[in-house]
Chains A and B, each alone.
Chain A
Amino acid sequence: MTTEPPPMPLSGEEAATLSALDLETAPQPPAPPLKKKRNLPGMPDPDAEVIALSPKTLLATNRFVCEICNKGFQRDQNLQLHRRGHNLPWKLRQRATKEVRKRVYVCPEPSCVHHNPSRALGDLTGIKKHFCRKHGEKKLKCERCSKKYAVQSDWKAHMKTCGTREYRCGCGTLFSRRDSFVTHRAFCDALAEESAKAQTLSTDDKDGVGAGVTAASSSSPPQPPLTPSTSVVSPTLSIQSSEIPENATRLSPPTTCVAKAVTTSTVLATVLASSAGAAAPSTTSFPNVTAATSLSLSVPLYLSNNVNDPRHHYTACPQPSTTAALSATALLQKAAQMGAASSNTSLLRGLGLATSSTGYHPQDESGIDNPIMQWNMSSHVKQENPSLADHNLGLGLPCGDPGFADVMMGSPPMTRDLLGLGIGGNGGDNVSRGGLSALLTSFGGNFDSSGDAGGVRHQ
């Protein structure tokens, strides 16, 4: 944007707008700016007339309209020239005075940096674009990458370059952005396989790690046309790998782990150092590596993996002392299987649960002989008899006596219900889900909220 003086005195409309606003004359900036940097080269003109235009004025386009064809123009002069085409009387006005005072413009948005007269912009077009860009609504959108713009010229400029370049990795993935392409190449799985072989071959930690990791991070180490970021990676790696051996002794995990650590932190170092040059990463990336290794294996600040964690209890925990070391998940699955094996009706009925008052009665007869069921029945017995202490829940378990557990475990392999009852007896169809809901269905049938006991007491 070149600073050009307004070509003519303001039209009536504009002048009215201006007079309505407070025009500050700022021979001296009222408050020193916080930043020393200035956008304009050189010092701003202290004699400049500071003009504050309203947002409406700044956003307005085409304020001069031809009365014949309604074509809009931003400047009166352009309109006049256009009027010539209609054979209408036209008049190009000259500058009122030869001596024009330099004008600078401030942004009307109070929170904006340019609201301060000392940071005013010298160009009318400039301030218009600034306001539109920063404080206006972004109505224009790039179709390809959906980036939004308020100023049309910005948008057009972007459209020229967006998506014009495409990168393709060996594995077939397409990228529109260079940086994501580069980082992908560093980690492409197809390439990782090659590097894995390279890693296992080299046992020597310093060179091996270096070579292995280098191989991992670039498709082929000697390839010259790698992008600058990638080329930064290589020297970074070699710097890091030379430092790795010292850390390797600190690190308990094996080389491959370290290699991964270096790889990960290397990429991060790459991201962090980017194209700052090969030398820079040596200083900046090492703290990252150190931090990474001390936190182990990731972004310095938060992916601490406790590899180096001195706390004991973060080591692999000892197996439980009992022989059966089933995880809770496995237990649930087992219980579900046992429940399913007992054959149950559909899931829905099962989830009907308490409200499904289906046949406790029919099951009565079928299940009576099964002493296991007595557990269930006796629970109904309890509803009748408040003094629970007298009842052994059928199987001796008022106090959690493991006899109960006996019952439970009594029939896992048998077709008899663990819990004695399916809703419809032994229908034989397995619940497709095989989950605990299957188990539930067997519960569901047992508990008739109508409180029917009818059960056989176990005595």
Chain B
Amino acid sequence: MQEEGSSSVTSLSLSPSLGSPRPMLKELRSEERGLCLIHLLLTCGNHVAAGNVETANVLLGQSSMLASPEGDTMQRIAAYFTEALADRMLKAWPGLHRALNSTRIVMVSEEVLTRKLFYEIFPFMKIAFVLTNQAIIEAMQGEKMIHIIDLNAVESAQWLALFQILSARPEGPPHLRITGVHHKKEILDQIAYRLVEEAEKLDIPFQFNPVVSKLESLDFEKLRVKTGEALAIISMLQLHSLLACDDEGRRNPHLAGTSNAIPRQRRQPMFQSSSSEKDTANEYAPSPDSSSSSPASLTTSNSKHMESFLNALCGLSPKVMVVTEQDSNHNGLTLMERLLEALYSYAALFDCLECRLPRTSLERLRVEKMLFGEEIKNIVACEGFERRERHEKLDKWIQRFYLAGFGNMPLSYFGMLQAKRFLQSYRCDGYKMREENGCVLICWQDRPLFSVSAWRPRK
């Protein structure tokens, strides 16, 4: 059987290494294997989306054979995407899915470690910190009382650096208050301890207010914003999860297996059916069915939760709000859109890792599996409220902020310079940084991956 198959095909094969009738898997050149995997993934994605369980099953099997979390870059990517697609299919059997995940233990220390690795290995967070701190410093010139709200207080390095800068102000350090928001108390405690300790050393009057809360249920009263203090709001890769809240009401049944449920028809009349990245022009044109009087893009009017959150943030009258977000469109309506986009984005991220760490590195494995793998799974396998990794492109964020009453604040020249120098000295050559509309995009080989931008209320 197989011989027949391969022999009839080898005549077409141009690859010299596959001259033998039964080429072994290992002899596949990595390039061919990579292309093969891409093809498999996309095809499989199609089938999963269409609900063709049998076919998808076979394809997943093939893909798993070729993919490996310890192989080359494409193999690793394929491994996680394969897993994600399989996860998606399995959701058609909710009991089965839940049972398989029932012994999953998520340890806080693991999460912390993973995040720490991400911070160490990649330059993205560091650059974001530099730019953020610089924006804060410049906005808070001469202020005596500074209040910073950190919407995801996990990394103390940023604030430690800020302490250094503030303690060296000529007029002395200001009175600093940081409100950290996170859903796990232990992490806030750790951060609090670290920051308070450092502030004491530097003799900065400092206060840390922990707010244990998920972002979507954040009670703004708890933030305790006072009049007379200068407020800064920092959001690091957090806002996109709020988009998931708006999807709750429009939750589509899981696509795997049973139904052909590529959600072409959304209940909201405003979504264009083919809202891929390419069609952003269409998205911005007001639809005749649009019930919203908002002149701006259609997509924003569907995000009530996000809108109200941003409005509330604007209502706090911060002096500056600095937002760091992933800059990829992983919030497409259809699975294939997201799959495609995610393939590109995570290919870039995995390439970063390949450039930086050897294949045997455990840290690399950890980041790939615990961070990227989980994100991929979320993007591909989940729908509705569960799908939290709703990354979007910067222009959509700009629109949202604008609608909420924010105006763009160009990032500090000095900050950008610092960041650029840092990037230049970084080990890998592929990172690039560019400025667009007052926002900074950090790219890998021309593909923007993260964006940093600063905002303040317009009036």
- Residues of A whose CB lies within 8 Å of any CB of B are 111, 133-138, 146, 150, 173, 177, 180, 183-184, 187, 253, 257, 260-261, 263-264, 267-268, 271-276, 284, 296-307, 313-314, 316-318, 320, 322-329, 331-332, 334-335, 338, 347-348, 351-355, 371-372, 379-380, 382-383, 386, 388, 390, 392-413, 418-419, 433, 435-437, 439-440, 443-444, 446-447, 449, 451, 458-459
Contacts and interface: CB of A to CB of B under 8 A. Distances in A.
A136 B417 CA distance: 38
Contacts of A403: 2, 5-6, 9-10, 22-23
Contact of B2 (A303, A396, A410, A418): A396
Contacts of B164: 272, 299-301
A380 B228 CA distance: 69
B425 A409 contact: no
A177 B418 CA distance: 19
Interface of B: 1-6, 8-10, 12-15, 18, 22-25, 27-36, 38-39, 42-43, 46-47, 49-52, 54-55, 57-59, 61-62, 65-66, 72-74, 77, 120, 126, 129-130, 138, 141, 157-158, 160-161, 164-165, 168-170, 226-228, 260, 262, 264, 274, 276, 278-279, 334, 336-337, 340, 343-344, 347-348, 350-351, 354-361, 363, 412-414, 417-418, 421-422, 424-427, 444-445, 447, 456
Most-contacted residue by chain B among A134, A274, A303, A413 (CB, 10 A): A303
Contact of A326 (B31, B55, B421): B31
A386 B347 CA distance: 34
B437 to A, nearest CB: 18
Contacts of A395: 5-6, 8-9
Contact of A328 (B74, B120, B228): B74
A302 B227 contact: no
A351 B32 contact: no
Given A388-B58, A406-B15, A329 B264 contact: no
A394 B77 CA distance: 26
Contact of B262 (A304, A354, A371, A397): A354
A410 B1 CA distance: 20
Given A331-B34, A400-B66, A137 B46 contact: no
A123 B54 CA distance: 85
A275 B13 CA distance: 72
A301 B157 contact: yes
Closest 3 CB pairs of A and B: A396-B5, A400-B65, A403-B6
Contacts, number: 331
B170 A274 contact: yes
19 contacts: A177-B141, A268-B418, A272-B168, A316-B427, A317-B357, A322-B29, A328-B73, A331-B38, A352-B274, A353-B46, A353-B49, A355-B260, A382-B55, A395-B5, A396-B3, A406-B18, A435-B344, A436-B343, A439-B38
Contacts of B3: 396
Contacts of B274: 348, 351-352
Contact of A301 (B9, B23, B55, B160): B160
Nearest to A348: B274
Given A386-B54, A408-B39, A409-B14, 18 more contacts: A138-B227, A260-B425, A276-B168, A284-B168, A297-B421, A299-B165, A301-B160, A304-B120, A317-B356, A329-B444, A335-B39, A379-B43, A379-B47, A382-B55, A398-B58, A413-B14, A437-B276, A437-B340
A267 B417 CA distance: 11
A28 B188 CA distance: 41
Given A324-B31, A353-B49, A136 B9 contact: no
A125 to B, nearest CB: 18
A433 B72 contact: no
B168 A274 contact: yes
A320 B72 contact: yes
A437 B66 CA distance: 23
B15 A409 contact: yes
A162 to B, nearest CB: 11
Contact of A347 (B54, B278, B414): B278
